[in-house]
Amino acid sequence: MPVDKQKMNCCEKLSKRSLIALNSICMLSALIAIIGGVVVKINLGSYLNHLAVGNLKTATEFLATAPIVFIILGCFITVISLLGCCGAHLENLFLLKVYKVTLLLVLSALAVTAALTFTFKSSVQQALFIALTNFFHTYNNTREVMDLIQTNIDCCGVNSSLDWNYNDIWKERAQEIADRDNLILGTSPVPDSCCIDIEAGCGLANSAEDVSTGIYTDGCAGKFWNYLSANGDTIGISGLVVAAILLCSIVFTCFVINYVDESGDFVI
């Protein structure tokens, strides 16, 4: 066999086997995307539903949709990876071309989703602070949101637990609860959701001199942002990793299509 023919067969074998290997990795990456999407959806779902108002509406609606997009794309990638394996193994031009076009579409969708995730993540921080401040100052109407955040993020107030000292709406409510339930009212009462071990009236007895005892003192703005940022990174990084692998698959698919189209030979 001529040297050039041997080199061609060698390159074709390498491209074909690399494509099959990459498709196996694609299926694993798709599983990562699905798991990442499910984890983020579970972790952020309840918060984002409550925060989808005002300045945060557009950003939170996108962040709530992004995990679903990744789950759907993950399932889709699994199917087309099987298609790619079959096309490479059988050296079927039609399957390979369908596979390449489909990969290009998925790659575009993943790249856009990942880019938008990082873009919206950076714009959320300021809007988050404004939204939390609004929730804080209208606590009687937004108690469910603030309590949900403070309980699950292990925080208290916007900047610190001392913020509650300057919330007149909360101070009036705290006094009403203390009078109604015959509870002791401390000098720095906080909602029960600020307590490390939550029980009825645990936050009302808090005093300025022992403000760090039994309650979380870190503000929610910083901790909640770190929480959202970490989950946003999970979405973005998962998408970029899968996109990089898909790009490599497209390159090797083009090689295999080129060899099969030119020679029509089957490589074992």
Name the percent of the chain in helix, strand, coil, to the closest 5: 80, 0, 20
Which residues partner with 195 through β-bridges?
A: 215
The answer, yes or no, to whether residue 132 has pLDDT greater than 60, is yes
pLDDT at 137: 84
**Percent of the chain scored above 70 by pLDDT?**
72
- Are 74 and 187 found together in one domain? no
- Are 207 and 255 found together in one domain? no
Per-residue pLDDT band at 3 (split at 50, 70, 90): very low
Per-residue pLDDT band at 131 (split at 50, 70, 90): confident
Q: What is the mean pLDDT of the chain?
A: 74
- Are 72 and 198 found together in one domain? no
Query: What mean pLDDT comes out for the span 146-175?
Result: 88
Handedness of CA 224, 69, 119, 64 (dihedral sign): negative
- Are 252 and 122 found together in one domain? yes
Query: In Å, what is the CA distance from 176 to each residue of 173, 182, 201?
Result: 5, 10, 12
- Are 38 and 115 found together in one domain? yes
- Are 192 and 102 found together in one domain? no
- Are 47 and 111 found together in one domain? yes
- Are 213 and 226 found together in one domain? no
- Are 114 and 170 found together in one domain? no
- Are 26 and 66 found together in one domain? yes
Query: Which range marks the domain in which residue 112 is found?
Result: 7-136+221-263
3-state secondary structure 8-43: HHHHHHHHHHHHHHHHHHHHHHHHHHHHHHHHHHHH
- Are 21 and 118 found together in one domain? yes
Indicate whether 11 belongs to any domain: yes
Question: Which residue has tokens 């939550």?
Answer: 198
Indicate whether 2 belongs to any domain: no
Instruction: Please give the helix or strand (H or E) that residue 96 lies within, else none.
Output: helix 93-137
Instruction: Give the Cβ contact number of residue 108 at 10 Å.
Output: 12
Question: Number of structural domains, the chain?
Answer: 2
Whole-number Å distance between alpha carbons of 114 and 225: 19
Query: What mean pLDDT comes out for the span 60-84?
Result: 75
Structure tokens at 161: 């637990």
Indicate whether 147 belongs to any domain: no
Handedness of CA 118, 122, 123, 128 (dihedral sign): positive
Whole-number Å distance between alpha carbons of 194 and 201: 11
Handedness of CA 215, 210, 164, 125 (dihedral sign): negative
The answer, yes or no, to whether residue 267 has pLDDT greater than 50, is no
- Are 175 and 51 found together in one domain? no
Indicate whether 108 belongs to any domain: yes
pLDDT at 134: 81
2 touches 53 (CB < 8 A): no
pLDDT at 62: 60
